[in-house]
Amino acid sequence: MKKINCIGILTSGGDSPGMNAAIRAVTRSAICKGFAVKGIYRGYDGLVNGEIKEFTTESVSNIIAKGGTILKSARSQSFMTPEGRKQAFENMQKAGIDALVVIGGNGSLSGARVFAQEFDVPCIGLPGTIDNDLYGTDLTIGYDTTLNTIVECVDKIRDTATSHERIFFVEVMGRDAGFLAQNSAIASGAEAAIIPEDSTDADQLEQFIGRGIRKSKNSSIVIVSESPKCGAMFYAERVKREYPQYDVRVSILGHLQRGGSPSARDRILASRLGAGVIDAILDGQRNVMIGIRNDEVVYVPFSDAIRSDKAMNKSLIRVLDELSI
């Protein structure tokens, strides 16, 4: 196996709070252990186009508190082609990069897995996604900050919902995973959460709204995971048809969920996992994601992290049901 002297870092896909803390941790831990580090700008596109710059400890100064990613991010169409990946590999070789660190979500780690298989490149992944949907890790970088952002927004919406006796459907991110919706509903005292893991029909929706509105509450908040077919607007329109007496509104939180300074928890998580990358490389690991389970850093094969579904703790659904009566 070729000796690793230089490590390249890129961020890919949707940005998440804490990515900068992870970049900082990988860079400084690598330099501390004697590796050279190079930052790759604009994700896989930057690797294809050769947007590569040498990093020092100063390159990552004062970024731990910043949201977004100093390396920028992009969804690369060219990297999805064999020709694009070949160009990316050639640019890696020109830059003297021996191993690649990819910070991103499911799609980003899928790209790393294919790249590693085609060119025998050691790749290490970090779970940078607000959705918390990667298997093998209890938490992903950015999830805690986003959850707190959602709760802060819902708390404000609650003021208006109560003042005007309205039903609010609040749409949050998490198209294929309901962790944000379910946990923000519990934390904000919402009456219900509509999530992919718990299929909702009209009768359940009636139960959600009716339980609060008809008995003791004059307002209600329902958190909905985004969906192209049945997001917050879909459920709001249905309630308007079935209960025309209620004042129904929709609030789609959108991209404000991604922004902001990362929470202390996300900064610590990103720092631990970033340092874990270098430990993994020194340990001879390759093609794994660095995760956290039971407060211990673990190595999760890409195949497991990407292809396995992360189960929702169904007791959370019961907790919300019981506490929203």
Q: Which of 131, 133, 144, 266 is catalytic?
A: 131
Token reading at 320 = 């919300």
User: Cα separations (Å) of 142 from 45, 62, 117?
Assistant: 23, 18, 28
- Model confidence pLDDT, tens digit, residues 1-41: 689 999 999 999 999 999 999 999 999 999 999 999 999 99
- Only one residue has tokens 């930052």, namely 39
- Model confidence pLDDT, tens digit, residues 202-233: 455 666 666 655 555 667 899 999 987 778 89
User: Cα separations (Å) of 119 from 53, 85, 209?
Assistant: 22, 9, 54
- Model confidence pLDDT, tens digit, residues 106-160: 999 999 999 999 999 999 999 999 999 999 999 999 999 999 999 999 999 999 8
Say what the pLDDT of residue 173 is.
94
> Packing angle between helix 82-95 and helix 106-119, nearest 10 degrees?
70
Q: Which residues contact 178 (CB under 8 A, 6 or more apart)?
A: 193, 195, 196, 197, 198, 225, 312
List the alpha helices (DSSP H) in the chain: 19-32, 43-49, 82-95, 106-119, 143-164, 179-188, 202-213, 232-242, 264-282, 302-307, 315-323
pTM for this entry: 0.93
Say what the pLDDT of residue 206 is.
66
Question: How far is Cα 8 from Cα 55, in angstroms, rounded to an integer?
Answer: 9
Strand, helix or coil for residue 175: coil
131 annotated active-site: yes
Q: Alpha-carbon Rg of the chain, whole angstroms?
A: 22
**pLDDT tier at 43, thresholds 50, 70, 90:** very high
Quick check: 185 pLDDT over 90?
yes
